[in-house]
A = this chain, B = another copy of it.
Amino acid sequence: MTRSTLSPTPRSTPRRHAERAQADRAALDAVLDAGLVCHLALVVDGAPLVLPTGYGRDGDTLYVHGSSGARSLRGSAGIEVCVAVSLLDGVVYARSVFTHSFNYRSAVVHGDAELLEDEEHKLHGLRTLVEHLAPGSWGYARTPTKRELAATSVLALDLAEASVKIRTGGPGCDELDESANDVWAGVLPVRQVWEAPEPAEFTDPTLGVPAHISRRK
């Protein structure tokens, strides 16, 4: 079960372009479920560090692959993180450069992440991660050995404090530009598409591509 609304705190309440903020918890889930890579930010030796990494969501918990930042996380029971997932939907061309923008969906989650030690929870987190990155792979590919599980870091973060911003639609038109009818304004949409699967050199060329890969949306 997931919460039905976001619980904003001052730092998770957008002030700039507040009209783009979403209060609905479903909007957070939709952005997290649509993204593939997140950006995990930590404070290390007083300085900010941000790294791209994989993640997955199960209900109110965000699982984040921690190995890339492992040296920063070692020995941390609870570590303060900020995680962003951003999807670019288009470039907004306006009549003035000032009004240019992106169409996007973005989620920013704040909180203390737990570096999972419990084997069962870690396995569940890893499964959630893998099924987000590669739906259908868990149970098709070999699941982790104890040694592999030990070599993997998984962070768990409660989705209690988060903000979501979404911009859609065309450009605004400033008063200054109302008569500039010779300047084209609009949106150039951008989209991520899957291309044809490329088998590894060691994959038997007669082995068909499984549907969970060939039909991925």
Contacts and interface: CB of A to CB of B under 8 A. Distances in A.
Interface of A: 11, 15-16, 36-37, 39-52, 54, 67-68, 70-71, 80-84, 86, 88, 91, 93-98, 100, 102, 104, 106, 108, 110, 126, 130, 133-134, 137-138, 140-145, 148, 151-152, 170-171, 173, 176-177, 180-204, 207-210, 213, 216
Contacts of A44: 11
Chain A interface SS verdict (over half): mixed
A39 B200 contact: no
A195 B189 contact: yes
Closest 7 CB pairs of A and B: A41-B50, A52-B86, A170-B200, A41-B48, A39-B39, A96-B142, A186-B199
9 contacts: A16-B68, A43-B48, A50-B83, A93-B213, A97-B144, A98-B145, A186-B209, A186-B213, A188-B194
Q: How many copies does the complex hold?
A: 2
Contact of A84 (B39, B94, B148): B39
A14 to B, nearest CB: 8
A30 B140 CA distance: 36
B187 A197 contact: yes
